Structure 1
Amino acid sequence: MKARPLILVAQPHLAPLLDALSPRYDAMALWEESGRARLAEAEALVTAGEFRLDPAMLERMEKLRLIACFTVGYDGVDLDWARARGVAVTHAGDANAEDAADHALGMILAHRRRIVVGDRQLRAGEWTAGSKMLSRSMAGARVGIVGMGSIGIALAERAEMMRMQVGWWGPRDKPELGWPRAESLAALARDSDVMVVAAKATDENRGMIDASVMDALGPQGLLVNVARGQLVDEDALIAALREGRLGGAALDVFESEPTPAARWADVPNVVLTPHTGGATYEAVGRMRDMLLANLAAHFAGETLVSPVI
């Protein structure tokens, strides 16, 4: 009988995938010694794409032919290395784009309508007969989206339904889109009440939302990030919020994850969630199904379902 392919699963939080993989493959945990001992035998590696893979470890994986990202993102994978060694890379396509867009809209609502602040105020016993908290309308607000991929388009459609004015910026023009593209990132910030970061992370755009962009967004502006933490200069963001140069921030992703709670303890005007924007039961199910389909296609010598390379 032909031996079943050996697949290693890279991160502990992906442990539930072992049960899904085991009926067809020899699936082992890379964080356990038994898995690490068989690096040279593994034909596929399943990973969460935001985690940087150790180059020294990859060099030991002599039989590796597929890096299958369970997630939509794959910024932790060195694509040049993979190409040079003939290793295919797959990801989850746009499996969670709609959910990430929902989350972005929810964060805008939570901050702009002061839902989180109101909850905290009530729980602290600070709602009195003489107090009245005002918030800002969604209708008429200008939302600028950085990166008009699947998440950006899904958010733009939702924002339009709420009668917001939509603009966007990305490094490449997309004439087929019906929303105006700003001439620059800074111009988008100047013309937005809310700026949402939904761009793919690369080495080239690390820290592109810097102090100058935050200053252009201004003391009434709201910065929302549902993409990757490294796209935003986090130290500059915290300084801008403390100094009142930026009106607020709503963040689902961070420079380092999990982000330390103490880092945000005294930062004003922020709404924070623990990288859950695309983490719905439905999206995770779609990601699992795409992972299994990519693995099956790879080992059958068929066209991959959602290849990166």
Structure 2
Amino acid sequence: MKPHDVLMPSEGMDVVADLIAGRLPLHRLWLEPDPDAWLAQWAPALRAVASNGHQFPIDPAFMRRLPHLEIVASFGVGYEHIDAKWAGEHGIVVTHTPGVLDDEVADIAMALTLMAVRRLPQAERFLRAGEWPKSSFPLTASLGGRTMGILGLGRIGKAIALRAESFGLDIVYHGRHAQPGVPYRFYPSLAEMAKACDILMVAAPGGPETRRLVDAEVLRGLGPDGVLINIARGTLVDEQALIEALRTGAILAAGLDVYENEPNVPAELIALDNAVLLPHVGSASVKTRRAMAQCVVDNLVAWSEGKPPLTPVPETPWRGSWGID
């Protein structure tokens, strides 16, 4: 096994594996007849991991099995499936793919907003079912005059804000702290921001700290004309509380691209006519997914050449060469 061999623990998009294999020796653990036995034999020689999906947690137990691990290159912006804090404490750099998918996800965020407020999927189903000759589609709510509260004003949140402003929406935001130089009003309390807006856009990272941050209290704050849009992680929203809010009319509608237990979506949510549901396609264009895959490869190649990885996560800053051969 060569010094720069890369381990991919789980299957994902073919383009990721193909691009890595074009530059570095790649081992696909899921193809091994006995992955545990293979890993027990080869783990001491492995120093790089390519994480190709959230279905395989890169936790301390797994990283301990690779005693000479130096880098985990993850496909995607979110990396809550990786214990980055532990990795950083043990000299392992974790990289992700920020920037390359911001615009694509922001476009879907605004599309979901329009779809949910104006009931566009319902209108299309109405036409396809042959109902239009019988009657007009019911009038809908309007997007104009609304305030969008953005939970998580990072790169994607800012890209959404720019688009929302062009639609004439007022913008406010909530996060861990107020950001200098941002022209939008900051709310230190999510519950208070929910009361001040009627579109709540969820764009914050996942993980234990944000789990079910959008709960029944926040949804009540949005009110009966309120709309929830989630393009971040399903874990940020209390799914049962959302189902109840939609079912009872506590909020007007929701537009979701992510769910708590993907790809399993609760039947109660699917049955609701005021929920617009997409199968996690925020960044799912050929161009963007290839750019994400290339970012994974570029980080691994930089590491293999003893150079700083391009996009390390904050918990694992690059500390220089760790004796790479």
1:43 aligns with 2:43: no
> What is the CA–CA distance in structure 1 between the aligned matches of 2:272 and 2:100, rounded to whole Å?
33
Is the contact between residue 167 and residue 179 of structure 1 (CA under 8 Å) also seen in structure 2?
yes
1:230-255 Cα distance to aligned partner (Å, 9 max, x none):
00011111111112212111110100
How many Å separate the matches in 1 of 2:284 and 2:15?
15
Which is bigger in relative contact order (C-alpha 8 A, separation at least 6)?
2
Conservation of the 8 A alpha-carbon contact between 2:16 and 2:294: no
> 1:251–1:304: structure 2 CA closer, same or farther, 3 Å change rule?
same
SS in structure 2 opposite 1:264?
Answer: helix
Amino acid at match of 1:46: A
Mapped partners of 2:70, 2:49: distance in 1: 9
1:250 to 233, 255, 258: 255
1:123-167 CA-partner distances (Å, limit 9, x unpaired): 222224543421233232211111100111111111111111111
Give CA-to-partner distance per residue, 1:207-251, whole Å, 9 cap, x none: 110000000001111000000110001111111111221211111
Q: SS of the residue aligned with 1:139?
A: coil
Corresponding position: 1:30 with 2:17: no
Residue in 2 that maps onto 1:156: 161
1: CA distance between counterparts of 2:52 and 2:17?
14
Which residue identity lines up with residue 102 of structure 2 in the other structure? A
Q: CA deviation at 1:48?
A: 3.5
The AA in structure 1 aligned to 2:303 is H
SS in 2 for 1:250: strand
**Paired position in structure 2 for 1:140:** 145
8 Å contact kept, 2:59–2:82: no
Q: How does 1:233-272 map to 2 (within 5 A)?
A: 233-260=238-265, 262-272=267-277
Deviates more, 1:289-298 or 1:6-15: 6-15
Number of aligned residue pairs: give it: 308
Give the TM-score taking structure 2 as reference length: 0.89
Using the alignment, how far apart are the partners of 1:295 and 1:183 within structure 2?
A: 38
Structure 1 unmatched ranges of 5 or more = none
The alpha carbon displacement at 1:4 in A equals 5.3
Q: For residue 281 of structure 1, what is the aligned residue in structure 2?
A: 286
Q: Within the alignment, does 1:107 sit opposite 2:112 as a pair?
A: yes
Matched to 1:190, the amino acid is K
> Which moved further from structure 2: 19-28 or 148-157?
19-28
Residues 149-198 of structure 1, C-alpha deviations (whole Å, 9 max, x = no match): 01111111111111111111112101211111124211211111211000
Q: Which is further off, 5-14 or 198-207?
A: 5-14
- TM superposition shift of 1:300: 1.3
What's 2:5 paired with? 6
Kept after mapping to 1: 8 A contact 2:15/2:293: no
Task: Quote the residue 1:86 is aligned against.
Answer: 91
Range with greater deviation from structure 2 (51-60 or 298-307): 51-60
The Cα of 1:273 is off from its aligned counterpart by: 0.5
Task: Report the Cα distance in structure 1 between the residues aligned to 2:23 and 2:123, rounded to whole angstroms.
Answer: 51
* Distance change in 2, residues 1:293/1:59 (3 Å): same
Other structure's SS at 2:185 match: coil
| Rounded Cα–Cα distance in structure 1 between residues aligned with 2:59 and 2:30 | 13
Q: CA deviation at 1:67?
A: 0.5
Q: Pairwise CA RMSD of aligned residues?
A: 1.9
Verify the 8 A CA contact 1:18 1:28 in the aligned structure 2.
no
2:59/2:81 contact within 8 Å kept: no
Does the CA contact (< 8 Å) of 2:12 and 2:53 recur in 1?
Answer: no
Q: 1:39 to 1:125 in 2, by over 3 A?
A: farther
Is 1:181 aligned with 2:186? yes
Say whether the 8 Å CA contact 2:161–2:171 is kept in structure 1. yes
Per the TM alignment, residue 262 of structure 1 is displaced from its structure 2 partner at its CA by: 2.7
Q: What is the TM-score when the length of structure 1 is the normalising length?
A: 0.93
Give the corresponding residue for 2:82: 77
Taking the aligned partners of 2:188 and 2:6, their CA distance within structure 1 comes to 46
1:290: how far off? 1.3
Contact 2:171-2:184 within 8 A present in 1 as well: yes
Matched residue type, 1:39:
A
Give the match for residue 173 of structure 2: 168
- Percent identity, aligned pairs only? 36
Assess if the C-alpha contact under 8 Å between 1:49 and 1:77 holds in 2. no
Q: Distance in 2 between matches of 1:70 and 1:164?
A: 33
**Pairwise CA distance, 1:294:** 0.7
Change (3 A) 1:260 1:130: closer
Q: Distance in 2 between matches of 1:169 and 1:307?
A: 25
